[in-house]
Amino acid sequence: MSDNNHIAGIVNGGVFPRVVIIGMPGAGKTRIGKEVAGLLDLPFADSDVEIEHEVGTRIPQYFEEHGEPAFREVECRVISDLLESFSGVLSLGGGAPMFEDTHEALESYIEHGGQVVYLEASPEEAMERARRAGGRPMLAGDSDKRWMTLFEQRDPVFAALATTRVVTHGFTPIGAARKLVDMINEHRVHVGGADPYDVVIGEGVMNHLAEVLGDKPVRVALIHTATVQRHSDRARTLLRQGGYEVSDIVIPDAERGKTIEVANGIWQRLGEEGFTRSDAVVGLGGGAATDLAGFVAATWMRGIRYVNCPTSLLAMVDASTGGKTGINTPQGKNLVGSFYTPAGVLADLKTLGTLPNDIFTEGLGEVAKSGFIKDQAILSILEAHADDLRRFDGSTFAAAGADDATGTDAGFSGSGDLEDIVAQLIERTVSVKAYHVSADLKESGLREFLNYGHTLGHAIEKLEHFRWRHGNAVAVGMVYAAELAHLLGYIDEDLVEYHRSLLGSLGLPTSWNGGSFEDVLALMHRDKKARGNKLRFVVLEGVGHPVHLDDPPADAVEEAFRRIQQ
């Protein structure tokens, strides 16, 4: 699981709840909380039950005999103890977060990595359940009127406190629990800078689409390829449920969709359908689709809101994050574009279940790149699980159930350990990218290190007329950069061989023999890192230590190329 999320309630040597559930009376905190605990194989505790054990009597009786202030003191003490000693799923009484000391204890829990989920049921459902349950001191008298009064007081407090809000309207308890578990297991990476945003990774995170878009847009252009129709259907349903008018725009697959002709067709659609500066774009698909969608968003009326929903491993770890948008020209890849940050990125692991093996595997090239330039733990994870990753099978990785948007019980089951490994790899890789782009959005220095392996990689893609996938080309490009660094004394031969062995173990290519050195050299001179007539590479001085290599000797550039042809 994520470094940002505690596992089984253990963090920094301490023990505390995996999740705390808050909500109004009748929201289903206890029922749904028990289901969540069962799904996570964790114990469940209800603070009201623990309080009754503490005081030796029922809460209504204690309320009547001692009054609310005395009850809140006991409640705070019990909850504070649970926040420091209980490692399961904890449900709190409806008014608990309103007591100042309890609120502060929950804020401290959150600061240490805890998750507080605000369970939101419809008022009608919650009031009916509260009436049936009875015995609630705070709802004495006209219970419905009292419930609405409490809701007006508590809702803004709960919403501000919670780390996650889960709407349960229309869901059965088990359906709501599955939805909540998906959200608990989400990984979030914050990308800082002038326009910060979050990359959310996990099962079902596409459900956040309306939340990230916000309430200003009226119209949303959903830009996607035909190959991801199943996922675009889901996104369209979520958008319409969110109240947006959806323009469905299908583009050619892969690099064929990243052209000025395709972009111009979309601009015409937006103009004809009256898109304004307050409307939005959603890019859904692989890296080419999210690149194009971002470019359209950046250029329409000088910039409108957009959200990326990557559906391939490569797009999740690379193209969808960082604010690079662009199209290709006959002269090269991504030569026309802009830096324009999305409002958010939703990397829904469910979409990986429809990937063919080769498209999943190519994404591991960009994952490995991040390990080589920054995070050695990525390389360790890849080494340890190379066989499973190389044999990736979408049908076993993720078996699709009913759409989460329907509210049915059918859920989504993954392959357990491999799914968690992939989630870790995505989070770590995105974190590496966030580190570089937060400090250097427009690629003036630090961000160039993300181009490790790309100088030759882009040339291979162009010479292969984009029949080679990006991650595969970058894998060969990294071996080339390693050979060049070794020839010039930056690294030893063992690190070059480590590139070959690790990338090869993942099913990635490590050699290429599809073009002449003269053709490759001409394309490398057009690389965005080139300065005038001088070549500029990213090479390693060691794992985690990339450097710029300017104008290397011509014979070394050619010899390194010869070595990757073998």
CATH number at residue 137: 3.40.50.300
311 is in an annotated binding site: yes
Average pLDDT over residues 464-487: 95
In CATH, what number is assigned to the domain containing residue 554? Answer: 1.20.1090.10
In this predicted structure, the answer to whether residue 532 has a pLDDT above a threshold of 70 is no
Question: Residue 393: inside a domain, yes or no?
Answer: no
Question: Residue 252: inside a domain, yes or no?
Answer: yes
For residue 531, what pLDDT band results from cuts at 50, 70 and 90?
low
pLDDT at 21: 96
Question: Residue 46: inside a domain, yes or no?
Answer: yes
pLDDT at 408: 37
End-of-domain residue from the set 334, 361, 388: 361
CB atoms near residue 485 (< 10 Å): 26
387 is in an annotated binding site: no
pLDDT at 127: 74
For residue 317, what pLDDT band results from cuts at 50, 70 and 90?
very high
Closest CA to 348 of 207, 191, 197: 207
Query: Are 331 and 224 in the same domain?
Result: yes
CA pair distance 427, 432, nearest whole angstrom: 9
420 is in an annotated binding site: no
455 is in an annotated binding site: no
288 is in an annotated binding site: yes
Average pLDDT over residues 137-158: 77
CA pair distance 403, 409, nearest whole angstrom: 10
Locate tokens 């060969």: which residue? 476
30 is in an annotated binding site: yes
68 is in an annotated binding site: no
Query: Are 286 and 333 in the same domain?
Result: yes
380 is in an annotated binding site: no
pLDDT at 412: 33
253 is in an annotated binding site: yes
428 is in an annotated binding site: no
Question: Residue 95: inside a domain, yes or no?
Answer: yes
In CATH, what number is assigned to the domain containing residue 243? Answer: 3.40.50.1970
291 is in an annotated binding site: yes
Helix axes 554-564, 517-524, angle to 10 degrees: 120
User: Counting beta carbons within 10 angstroms of the beta carbon of residue 175, is it exposed (0 to 12), middle (13 to 18) or buried (19 or more)?
Assistant: buried
pLDDT at 7: 38
Angle at 91 between CA 89 and CA 94, to 5 degrees: 165
Query: Are 139 and 211 in the same domain?
Result: no
More confidently predicted of 52 and 128:
52
pLDDT at 137: 56
Total tally of structural domains belonging to the chain: 3
For residue 14, what pLDDT band results from cuts at 50, 70 and 90?
low
In this predicted structure, the answer to whether residue 342 has a pLDDT above a threshold of 60 is yes
Query: Are 348 and 492 in the same domain?
Result: no
Query: Are 169 and 191 in the same domain?
Result: no
Question: Residue 428: inside a domain, yes or no?
Answer: no
Percent of all residues in the chain with a pLDDT value above 70, rounded to a whole number: 89
Query: Are 94 and 243 in the same domain?
Result: no
Query: Are 216 and 340 in the same domain?
Result: yes
Residue 176: which region, alpha, beta or left (left: phi > 0; alpha: psi -120 to 50)? alpha
Query: Are 483 and 494 in the same domain?
Result: yes
Runs of H (alpha helix) within 385-464:
386-390, 394-397, 417-439, 454-463
Query: Are 54 and 155 in the same domain?
Result: yes
558 is in an annotated binding site: no
User: Counting beta carbons within 10 angstroms of the beta carbon of residue 196, is it exposed (0 to 12), middle (13 to 18) or buried (19 or more)?
Assistant: exposed
Question: Residue 558: inside a domain, yes or no?
Answer: yes
Average pLDDT over residues 207-212: 90
Locate tokens 């995105």: which residue? 430
Please enumerate in sequence order all residues whose Cβ is within 8 A of that of 511, keeping only pairs 6 or more positions apart, or say none: 476, 479, 564, 565, 566
Q: Which helix (H) or strand (E) holds 320?
A: none
pLDDT at 144: 75
Question: What is the CB-side half-sphere exposure of residue 204 using CA atoms within 13 A?
Answer: 26
Question: Residue 402: inside a domain, yes or no?
Answer: no
Q: Which domain holds residue 260?
A: 187-361
353 is in an annotated binding site: yes
Is residue 494 helix, strand or coil? helix
Q: Do the Cβ atoms of 117 and 162 come closer than 8 Å? A: yes
470 is in an annotated binding site: yes
pLDDT at 148: 85
Average pLDDT over residues 38-46: 95
Average pLDDT over residues 154-178: 88
Q: Do the Cβ atoms of 319 and 334 come closer than 8 Å? A: no
Is residue 540 helix, strand or coil? strand
168 is in an annotated binding site: no
Query: Are 203 and 271 in the same domain?
Result: yes
Angle at 484 between CA 335 and CA 333, to 5 degrees: 10
Query: Are 131 and 49 in the same domain?
Result: yes
pLDDT at 413: 35
End-of-domain residue from the set 331, 361, 391: 361
Q: Do the Cβ atoms of 357 and 392 come closer than 8 Å? A: yes
pLDDT at 376: 96
257 is in an annotated binding site: yes
Query: Are 324 and 210 in the same domain?
Result: yes
Locate tokens 């009376």: which residue? 25
Question: Residue 60: inside a domain, yes or no?
Answer: yes
User: In whole numbers, what is the pLDDT of the chain averaged over residues?
Assistant: 87
Q: Do the Cβ atoms of 341 and 197 come closer than 8 Å? A: yes
End-of-domain residue from the set 133, 159, 185: 185
Question: What is the CB-side half-sphere exposure of residue 411 using CA atoms within 13 A?
Answer: 16
